[in-house]
A and B are shown apart, each in its own frame.
Chain A
């Protein structure tokens, strides 16, 4: 049944006191796709996943997962989903095998020994089957969590920041598993991330969310092409003056300023670059540096919100979390 809607979100809202973490969200996810929720810290990604996975009651609105209502048919939803949580969720006092065995029993997985073996092999942990999880590295734990999320053959798999805090190589590996299970088993995947390249590499569709609202929804390619082919990053002595000049000269550009940096987006960056440099020099704006690259989802986010996704106030939280992960990894 490729192409039918498997996650249906309608006016889904969650308030914590005065704070609206998820704000009247609407979203459809098709069966068999890898869909990305992309947004900075505190955007409401985890809150959305928690509501979809029945662990948090929505304030209002509704959501169907695998055609079951997440409030009224919790058991049916729980049986149909797998989830890899943002934070650690393994029993570190048990071995890898025992963690999977526990899961297989909870979900009444048929032929569990074979399935556990398969999953351990998929994530390359079969040699560590009987090691206590507390002796695992952060990456190994993450891989085990993914194996566990898939063990009972869910229809929909939620991955909440699956590669946060992992080294690039492990991240690559995890991307490969994700692609493979999607391709081979047809599992629909909803993943959240604030790594642009992750969404770009994995996802067929991306919703960019900020302050609990979807501010843009499309395929990564289209989001990027809507923006323009190339992005010029200027570092100038006077960003305001430079922006004024760009406006006056009616360049077909979009811009946003962060400190002395101005981003110009265009479809013909190569021709534009020298023109803009001389324009700036003529008007007494000093160009300290320019770089040109083909546009990424990161740039899309910048254009939509005027901020880069990484230099958020939430960074403090991020650092703490990474430290926590490091601590956990040692434990």
Chain B
């Protein structure tokens, strides 16, 4: 426990200190919302009551969580490269505690980013929500980010080169993002695309957030949450396993 907290504390401290990363990470989601949302919305018209931008907002939130989470695996690669990993590995704490601390730290960072984005979206009047929806949203965001942080950690345990990590992660992230129903509903997709979307854990994350924020959903909320919980648990286990086998 002590170990988990200490690792979390460092991750969070580093994140809070790194203002440029925080500001920079806001750029892409906002551009997506503003340009893509308005642009595509103007083509397809008012499809879903609140407009396309509103439909897209939970998807962009999902994108923020996905990117923020997976790239916190980069910290593991840097820790290896700059030697700090050794300091953690010789400490009298378990490997599991390190992974858990990293997962929670990465999730905290990703969720902070998402909450700021949410506040901006709210300020622009794209979405309206209340305390209840926020209370539902936080655990969903937590499951999404813990899961994807561990995906990042799993890859980071095997990779030593930050550039290589970033390249591989882009390969992974882009399909996850585009398949996640962030931009289009699941209903009318051709079967092959629908199957792929159903295999993407982020689909359930976006669906859950959409059902909480916009009131539209492909699945009942509990299904989304159950799938997300399963995914996160699996990701933590796999991440911890690969981290344990890591070679310095």
Q: How far is the CA of A92 from the CA of B5 in the complex (A)?
A: 20
Q: How far is the CA of A68 from the CA of B144 in the complex (A)?
A: 41
- A98 neighbours in B (Cβ, 8 Å): 13
Nearest CB of A to B183, in Å:
36
Residues 58-111 of A contacting B (Cβ, < 8 Å): 75, 78-79, 81, 83, 85, 87-94, 98, 102-103, 105-108
Given contacts A55-B248, A105-B9, contact A89 B2 (CB under 8 A): no
Q: Is B82 an interface residue (CB 8 A)?
A: yes
Who on chain A is nearest to B88 by CB? A106
Who on chain A is nearest to B3 by CB? A106
Nearest CB of A to B68, in Å:
18
Residues 200-248 of B contacting A (Cβ, < 8 Å): 248
Q: How far is the CA of A93 from the CA of B14 in the complex (A)?
A: 7
Choose one: A81, A89, A93; the contact of B87 (CB below 8 Å): A89
- B93 neighbours in A (Cβ, 8 Å): 106
Query: Are A83 and B90 closer than 8 Å at their CB atoms?
Result: yes
Nearest CB of A to B76, in Å:
13
Choose one: A75, A89, A103; the contact of B83 (CB below 8 Å): A89
The contact string, 1 if C-beta is below 8 Å from chain B, for chain A 184-208, is 0000000000000000000000000
Query: Are B83 and A106 closer than 8 Å at their CB atoms?
Result: no
Q: How far is the CA of A54 from the CA of B248 in the complex (A)?
A: 12
Q: Is A53 an interface residue (CB 8 A)?
A: yes
- B84 neighbours in A (Cβ, 8 Å): 89-91
Nearest CB of A to B56, in Å:
35
Who on chain A is nearest to B10 by CB? A102
Q: Is B19 an interface residue (CB 8 A)?
A: no
Q: Is B86 an interface residue (CB 8 A)?
A: yes
Number of interface residues of A (CB under 8 A): 25
Nearest CB of A to B160, in Å:
14
- B190 neighbours in A (Cβ, 8 Å): none
Choose one: B17, B86, B92; the contact of A85 (CB below 8 Å): B86
Q: How far is the CA of A107 from the CA of B94 in the complex (A)?
A: 12
Who on chain A is nearest to B84 by CB? A91
Who on chain B is nearest to A89 by CB? B83
- A88 neighbours in B (Cβ, 8 Å): 82-83
Choose one: B6, B82, B248; the contact of A102 (CB below 8 Å): B6
- B89 neighbours in A (Cβ, 8 Å): 55
Who on chain A is nearest to B14 by CB? A93
Residues 5-27 of B contacting A (Cβ, < 8 Å): 5-6, 9-10, 13-14, 17-18
- A94 neighbours in B (Cβ, 8 Å): 10, 13-14
Q: How far is the CA of A91 from the CA of B10 in the complex (A)?
A: 10
Q: How far is the CA of A81 from the CA of B90 in the complex (A)?
A: 9
- B2 neighbours in A (Cβ, 8 Å): 105-106, 108
Q: Is B132 an interface residue (CB 8 A)?
A: no
- B86 neighbours in A (Cβ, 8 Å): 55, 85, 87, 89
Who on chain B is nearest to A91 by CB? B84
- A89 neighbours in B (Cβ, 8 Å): 82-84, 86-87
Q: How far is the CA of A132 from the CA of B9 in the complex (A)?
A: 17
Query: Are B92 and A106 closer than 8 Å at their CB atoms?
Result: yes
Query: Are B17 and A106 closer than 8 Å at their CB atoms?
Result: no
Q: Is B43 an interface residue (CB 8 A)?
A: no
- B6 neighbours in A (Cβ, 8 Å): 102, 105-106
Nearest CB of A to B163, in Å:
17
Who on chain B is nearest to A87 by CB? B83
- A83 neighbours in B (Cβ, 8 Å): 90
Query: Are B90 and A54 closer than 8 Å at their CB atoms?
Result: yes
Choose one: A75, A90, A93; the contact of B92 (CB below 8 Å): A75
Who on chain A is nearest to B98 by CB? A106
- A75 neighbours in B (Cβ, 8 Å): 92, 94
Query: Are A85 and B14 closer than 8 Å at their CB atoms?
Result: no
The contact string, 1 if C-beta is below 8 Å from chain A, for chain B 65-97, is 000000000000000001110111111111000
Query: Are B91 and A107 closer than 8 Å at their CB atoms?
Result: yes
The contact string, 1 if C-beta is below 8 Å from chain B, for chain A 227-270, is 00000000000000000000000000000000000000000000
Q: How far is the CA of A108 from the CA of B86 in the complex (A)?
A: 18
Residues 87-140 of A contacting B (Cβ, < 8 Å): 87-94, 98, 102-103, 105-108
Most B CB contacts (10 A, CB to CB) among A85, A106, A108, A148 go to: A106
Q: How far is the CA of A81 from the CA of B92 in the complex (A)?
A: 10
Most A CB contacts (10 A, CB to CB) among B2, B84, B87 go to: B87
Q: How far is the CA of A108 from the CA of B92 in the complex (A)?
A: 9
Given contacts A93-B14, A102-B6, A106-B3, contact A78 B90 (CB under 8 A): yes
Nearest CB of B to A68, in Å:
11
Q: How far is the CA of A157 from the CA of B52 in the complex (A)?
A: 63
Q: How far is the CA of A83 from the CA of B92 in the complex (A)?
A: 13
Binding site for A on B (CB under 8 A): 2-3, 5-6, 9-10, 13-14, 17-18, 82-84, 86-94, 248
11 contacts between A and B (CB under 8 A): A78-B90, A81-B90, A85-B87, A89-B83, A89-B84, A89-B86, A89-B87, A91-B10, A93-B18, A94-B13, A105-B6
Q: A85-B86, A106-B6 are in contact. List 20 more A-B contacts (CB 8 A).
A: A55-B89, A55-B90, A55-B248, A78-B90, A78-B92, A79-B92, A81-B90, A88-B83, A89-B84, A91-B10, A93-B17, A93-B18, A94-B13, A94-B14, A103-B87, A105-B2, A105-B6, A106-B3, A106-B93, A108-B2
